[in-house]
Amino acid sequence: MTPAQQNPLLGVFWMLLTGLCFIAVTALVKVLGTRIPAPEAAFLRYILGLVFLIPFLGSLRDIKLDRATWKLFGWRGLAHTLAVSLWFFAMARIPIADVTAMNYLSPIYVTIGAALFLGERLALRRIIAVLAALLGALIILRPGIREVGPGHIAMIFTAMLMGASYLMAKMLSERCSAGVVVAMLSISCTIGLLPLAALNWVTPTWWELLILMGVATAATAGHYTMTLAFRAAPLTVTQPVTFLQLVWAVTLGITVFGEPLDPFVILGGTIIVGSVCFISWREAVLKRKAITPNVTATKV
C-alpha cells in the first residue's frame, strides 16, 4: 500500500484490536494455571490452531524448497518451540504485567541480532536506545533488591528466542510467501512440542481444552489484525499503540487476578517501549529497510 493509500486511524484501530487479542491470550493462559505442564499447554495450543491452516494446505502441498530453506525452517521451529514453552511456563508463575513488559525486549534482541548476523549497522543513537531498553529490563527485574524467580528467567530467554525466530522469519519471507512461513511455523512447533509434551503428559479436561482453543483463536486473530494494521499504517504509527498492552495487562492483573501494582514494572516497560519506538522511528526517517519488528510481531 502506498503512503497515499494508507490510513493511520485504521492502522491504530487494527493495532488496538491486536493488543486486545494478545491480552486475551495472556489472560486465558493465566486462567489455565499450572496443572497442565507448559510444553503440553503450548503443544495443545498449536495443534488446536492447526485448523486455521486449512486455507494454506494447497500452498504447502505445492511448495518446493531447497535444503538451506528447510534447514532454516527447522532452526526457526526449534527456537520458537523453546520460546513458547518458556512463555507458557512464565505466564503461569509471574504477574501478567511482568510478562508483558519483558516481552517488549524481543525487538531489542532483534536489533542486536541483525547487527551481529545480518550486517546491520548500529549507529550511536541505536546503541543508546538498546542500552536504555536493557536498563528498563533491569528496572523490572531489580536483581539483588527483589527475588528474580524462574518465571522471570524464563521470560528473558523467551524474548531472546522470539527475537531469533523473527530474524529467521525475515530471512524466510524473502524465499517463501507469508502464508507458507506462518503455516510452517505452526507445523514445526507442533512437531517440536510433541516429544516435550509427551515427557510429562497430563490428560486435559474439556474446560482446559476449551481455554486452549480460545488461546489459539485469539492468537491467530491477533496475528491477522496485526497484518491489517501494518497494511493500513506505517510502523511508526502503530508501534506506540503497543504500549497500551502494558496498561491493559496491569489493569487486568489488578482487577481480575489480584496482582499488586508494581510501578517499577510500568517504568521499565515504558523505557523499553520508548526505545523500540525510537529505533522504529529512526528506521523510517532514514528510509531504510525496517528490521526492528512491532512488539506484537514476536507473540506466540
pLDDT mean across residues, the chain: 86
Q: How many domains does the chain contain in total? A: 1
Task: Select from 80, 12, 67, 73 the least CA-distant residue to 219.
Answer: 80
Q: Residue 65's pLDDT is what?
A: 80
Which range has highest mean pLDDT (179-183, 205-209, 227-231)? 205-209
- Cβ neighbours for 70, distance < 8 A, ≥ 6 positions apart: none
Q: Considering only 120-129, 208-217, 282-291, which range has the smallest mean pLDDT?
A: 282-291
Band of the pLDDT at 225, cuts 50, 70, 90? confident
User: 21 near 225, Cβ under 8 Å?
Assistant: yes
Answer whether residue 40 shows pLDDT above 70: yes
pLDDT tens column, 9-33: 888 899 899 999 999 999 999 999 9
User: 137 near 275, Cβ under 8 Å?
Assistant: no
Output 9 or 207, whichever has higher pLDDT: 207
Output 76 or 232, whichever has higher pLDDT: 76
Average pLDDT of the residues in 284-291: 65
Q: Considering only 52-66, 80-94, 225-239, which range has the smallest mean pLDDT?
A: 52-66
Q: Residue 295's pLDDT is what?
A: 61
Q: Residue 82's pLDDT is what?
A: 95
Task: State how far the Cα of 3 lies from the Cα of 10, in Å rounded to an integer.
Answer: 13
Q: Residue 74's pLDDT is what?
A: 93
Answer whether residue 281 shows pLDDT above 90: no
**Beta carbons within 10 angstroms of residue 241's beta carbon:** 22
Average pLDDT of the residues in 270-288: 81
Cell of 239: 508501534
Answer whether residue 238 shows pLDDT above 90: no
pLDDT > 70: percent of the chain: 90
**Beta carbons within 10 angstroms of residue 67's beta carbon:** 7
Helix H or strand E encompassing 115: helix 106-117
Phi-psi map region of 119: left, alpha, beta (phi>0 left; psi -120 to 50 alpha):
left
**Beta carbons within 10 angstroms of residue 168's beta carbon:** 23
pLDDT > 90: percent of the chain: 46
Q: Residue 134's pLDDT is what?
A: 92
Band of the pLDDT at 233, cuts 50, 70, 90? confident
Average pLDDT of the residues in 36-59: 86
pLDDT tens column, 120-161: 777 888 889 999 999 999 999 988 788 888 999 999 999 999
Q: Residue 194's pLDDT is what?
A: 96
Q: Residue 289's pLDDT is what?
A: 60
Q: Considering only 22-26, 59-63, 198-202, which range has the smallest mean pLDDT?
A: 59-63
User: pTM of this prediction?
Assistant: 0.86
Q: Residue 293's pLDDT is what?
A: 65
pLDDT tens column, 170-194: 888 778 777 778 788 888 999 999 9
Residue 282, domain extent: 3-298
